[in-house]
Chain A
Amino acid sequence: GENVEQHPSTLSVQEGDSAVIKCTYSDSASNYFPWYKQELGKGPQLIIDIRSNVGEKKDQRIAVTLNKTAKHFSLHITETQPEDSAVYFCAASRTGGGNKLTFGTGTQLKVEL
């Protein structure tokens, strides 16, 4: 089955700096890569996703890049703000089979003033 590794497990940045979280996956058939943000006491919420036919996707301060050859994808947050502090999860999925997601182990991002 799919295995998703995520690094780092914790990340501390100064407000206004950029943050980068990296994930690798094992199943070459995976073709959908979402990123979720989880605030304390809440369920995860999708912030951005990318499909394998695209190398990069951007939404305001958030961007995701995908390297299919190396089987890794990354989340980039620019101009970080205190409200970006949360746990971020990457995930991977392949078409069919119930569209199951395999999650990484999460990154605790702390944006310091």
Chain B
Amino acid sequence: NAGVTQTPKFQVLKTGQSMTLQCAQDMNHNSMYWYRQDPGMGLRLIYYSASEGTTDKGEVPNGYNVSRLNKREFSLRLESAAPSQTSVYFCASSEALRGLQYEQYFGPGTRLTVT
């Protein structure tokens, strides 16, 4: 039982390049989330998927797109990377029963640098 896995662990991009961050969970959770973490700013929600087939914007969605490929996988795409997107990206998943909130399980993160 690996929990939440993310690839890659590290990535360096040049301004304007594109890339996709991959996330998978093996806990059969309905909900999945993408956050970015910047020094002094905590974790900020980029996009989330409340259930398979749905995606919604979070607090900081500009410059990103997501795909909920199936129940297990939720990817984050940067179409044209900018230095302001240098950050650590975390994927998380949680159960969602009867609308109640449950623990979010986080992956190990992807450290992205855009030069």
Q: Is the interface of B mostly helix, strand, loop or mixed?
A: loop
* B48 at interface, CB cutoff 8 A: yes
Among A98, A102, A104, which residue has its beta carbon within 8 angstroms of that of B31?
A: A98
- How many Å from the CB of B84 to the closest CB on chain A? 18
> How many B residues face the partner with a CB closer than 8 A?
29
Taking the complex as formed, is A82 at the interface, i.e. its CB lies under 8 A from any CB of chain B? no
For chain A, residues 60 to 100, give those with C-beta under 8 angstroms from any C-beta of chain B.
89, 93, 95-100
Neighbouring A residues of B2 by C-beta, 8 Å: none
CB within 8 Å: A-B pair count: 68
Query: Assuming the A-B contacts A43-B106, A44-B106, A45-B106, are A105 and B41 also in contact, with contact meaning beta carbons closer than 8 angstroms in the complex?
Result: yes
CB contact between B90 and one of A44, A96, A97 (< 8 Å): that residue:
A44
Place the interface of chain A in its size category.
20 to 34
Q: Given A43-B106, A100-B45, do A105 and B56 touch, yes or no (CB 8 Å)? A: no
User: Can you report 23 A-B residue pairs in the complex whose CB atoms are below 8 A from each other?
Assistant: A1-B59, A9-B40, A34-B103, A34-B104, A41-B108, A41-B109, A42-B108, A43-B107, A43-B109, A45-B106, A46-B104, A49-B103, A98-B56, A99-B96, A99-B99, A100-B48, A101-B43, A102-B45, A102-B59, A103-B42, A103-B43, A104-B42, A105-B42
